[in-house]
Structure 1
């Protein structure tokens, strides 16, 4: 059945050359654990992407029940955890995955840095990776407020005060994130939800696309 579907699509858009270009790409020997024990350090990037996929899928499920409103945000999260089948598991995956993805991304960044993989000709990919790092941090920060509990509220206040202390543009950053309100409120929650669900994921997908294209063209960097 799957073969018939593939043949039907291939007959119309000729996807076989594209698939072969991806599937037949040889993996360098230095990233094969069967040949080098240290090859596991090259898995951090793939593991980071795997956790990102989990975050995307679990986040899509959470948005089916979450209400970005100060009257109902906490109630919707509570309902998800107590009334929805497997809701507590999915929310737990998203909650802990937010921390795991930052740890994995940090390990991947350290591997690239200490092995000199940011040098020519991979400078552009390094810059894309740095932007990805800040995008993931932004997703973690904006997602922290969404449960609308006491810890999220006061942690966000601290984060906004830190943003306000940025020289020259600090006030503009805080206004962009929190709106015109003096305290964290309905406008802040609405903006954080929009940034977390729409703006940052759009940037994430674009940066990941560029990142993978550059890796495909330049290959995986070798050891020192």
Structure 2
């Protein structure tokens, strides 16, 4: 590994870049070895690890999932019962989705109660709100993909809730459904949003979030 790193470093000059990203001191108030309450500052990192886990398991699920009304349910059933470790991977993806929402919510609570959203970190707080909205979007769009009765009617209720938004509700519901009711276009749109649009959106705002965190440093308690 040392030879590989030296080979790449000689040609790409990686050391300054790695040092700029990784070589910075950890404040005492977020060091769990010096401050027992520092574990609350780990919620953001745990959230990111869960997101990575969701991406990896989702990639494997996409190898077998078929986003069409005729085959979606059967493909999920095949993953669950026939694919080697398919039940485990799908279980991790399903439980990890709920865990991600919970950890992001706890992370935002920590940011709020420690005053970390205040000057000069207002923009990072806004980026965090956008990321939380995207995480909720993953949960909403992914819920339909098994294409069973529970998923279908839960999505129908969710789309009706979107339709109740003043001024833009009808337009928003029409865009989500792809027509007058939940059907084939709804499934294809939710799949595209879940695996293409939201991941691209998430990567952009995670990069912005981490960039501002690196520039501004970790906040201190009030």
- Counterparts of 2:2 and 2:207, CA distance in 1: 28
Moved over 4 A (4+): none
Query: Are 2:65 and 1:66 equivalent residues in the alignment?
Result: yes
Relative to the length of structure 2, the TM-score reads: 0.99
RMSD: 0.7
After TM superposition, give the deviation of residue 36 of structure 1 in Å: 1.1
- Counterparts of 2:205 and 2:51, CA distance in 1: 13
User: How is 1:1-224 mapped onto 2 (pairs within 5 angstroms)?
Assistant: 2-180=1-179, 182-224=180-222
- Counterparts of 1:21 and 1:130, CA distance in 2: 27
Deviation by residue 1:64-96 (Cα, 9 ceiling, x = unmatched): 100000000000000011111000000000001
After TM superposition, give the deviation of residue 138 of structure 1 in Å: 0.4
- Counterparts of 1:61 and 1:175, CA distance in 2: 31
Task: Give the gaps of 5 or more residues in structure 2.
Answer: none
After TM superposition, give the deviation of residue 22 of structure 1 in Å: 2.1
Relative to the length of structure 1, the TM-score reads: 0.98
- Counterparts of 1:22 and 1:124, CA distance in 2: 21
Shifted more, 194-203 versus 2-11: the winner is 2-11
The number of equivalent residue pairs is: 222
After TM superposition, give the deviation of residue 23 of structure 1 in Å: 2.4
After TM superposition, give the deviation of residue 143 of structure 1 in Å: 0.3
Deviation by residue 1:76-129 (Cα, 9 ceiling, x = unmatched): 000011111000000000001110000000000000001110000000000000
- Counterparts of 1:14 and 1:130, CA distance in 2: 36
Task: Give the gaps of 5 or more residues in structure 1.
Answer: none
- Counterparts of 1:27 and 1:35, CA distance in 2: 11
| SS of corresponding position for 1:147 | coil
